Amino acid sequence: MEYQNLKIDDQDGFVTITLNREKALNALNTQTMLELRHFFGTDGPAHEGLKGVILTGAGEKAFVAGADIKEFMALGDNGGAEMAQRGQDVFFLIERFHVPVIAAVNGFALGGGCELAMACHLRIAGPNARFGQPEVNLGIIPGYGGTQRLIQYIGKGKAMELLLTADMIGADEAHKLGLVNKVVEAGQEVAESRKMLEKIASKGPVAISKVIESVNAYFETERNGFNFEVHAFGETTRTEDFKEGASAFVEKRKANFSGK
């Protein structure tokens, strides 16, 4: 697929995806969602040696300032539910991706932008980052998982407040609430995300994937997270990575993981 709205930069298996619609504050339109689906559903899984992904927005003003409102206005009677389902399907691909995905939030992360950031495994924000779900201002609600994931990160009470008032919160408050993992200096969002991915990539690749799956299992009603963890643990103990990691620990050396 030829990407039009996503700029893909691959450096040694660390991929930075820039949502490249700066004039539209990187708003999520149909084309952008199709491209995200293609990367996380096709190109990403097929990428040998992929170690991690960083999502960020072009320019200094916005990560993603929301969805494309003009497209909303063109929806028919059944179009809203269909759009929401398509969006949730894409964001589940990100949430369940086999390597870590970090949102490097460099400005507004509102509506669909906040939902996209929450679908990532980690969030690193600059001081100018702003988070919010302002959909009620338009007479609608979040449709890409916002009412569900916001509760997971900051709890029901505060999530309900932000969803009902449409208030925005800054990077520091988002960090205190647990929505953001780290706040860094302006312009350092991507660099700090790369640094964190490099640290994670030094661990056992199979184990990293199983951690992602196991944490997600806690929130999936069709799974028992504790049972899933038992089976995932058992799988990791049969890997070459475990043998190498255990040997390296005993021999007091750095492990050389193969991802097998």
Q: Which residue has the higher pLDDT, 72 or 63?
A: 63
- Of residues 115, 189, 192, 213, which has the active-site annotation? 115
User: 145-164: per-residue pLDDT in tens?
Assistant: 999 999 999 999 999 999 99
Are the beta carbons of 131 and 174 closer than 8 angstroms? yes
Mean pLDDT over residues 66-77, rounded?
Answer: 76
Mean pLDDT over residues 238-260, rounded?
Answer: 91
Distances (CA, A) of 42 to 13, 47, 152: 16, 9, 28
Scan for tokens 């200094």, then name that residue. 60
Q: Residue 72: pLDDT above 90?
A: no
- Of residues 2, 22, 95, 135, which has the active-site annotation? 135
- Asked about 229 being catalytic, the answer comes back as no
Q: Where are the beta strands (DSSP E) in 58-183?
A: 62-64, 101-105, 108-110, 122-125, 130-132, 169-170, 182-183
Domain boundaries, the chain: 6-201, 205-250
| Phi, psi at 48, each rounded to 5° | -75, 130
Give the 3-state secondary structure of residue 141. Answer: coil
Q: How far apart are CA 193 and CA 26, in angstroms?
A: 20
Give the 3-state secondary structure of residue 258. Answer: coil
Q: Residue 15: pLDDT above 90?
A: yes
What SS3 string covers 169-192?
EEHHHHHHHCCCCEECCCCCHHHH
| Cα 183 to chain centroid, rounded | 16
Beta carbons within 8 Å of 55's beta carbon, 6+ residues apart: 17, 19, 94, 101, 102, 103, 104, 116, 117, 120
- Computed over every residue of the chain, the mean pLDDT equals 95
Selected from 3.10.620.30, 3.90.226.10, 1.10.274.10, 3.40.50.300, the CATH number assigned to the domain covering 6-201 reads 3.90.226.10
Scan for tokens 């894409």, then name that residue. 90
User: 92-115: per-residue pLDDT in tens?
Assistant: 999 999 999 999 999 999 999 999
Cut 0.75: pTM above it: yes
- Asked about 198 being catalytic, the answer comes back as no
Q: Residue 40: pLDDT above 80?
A: yes
Q: How far apart are CA 193 and CA 155, in angstroms?
A: 25
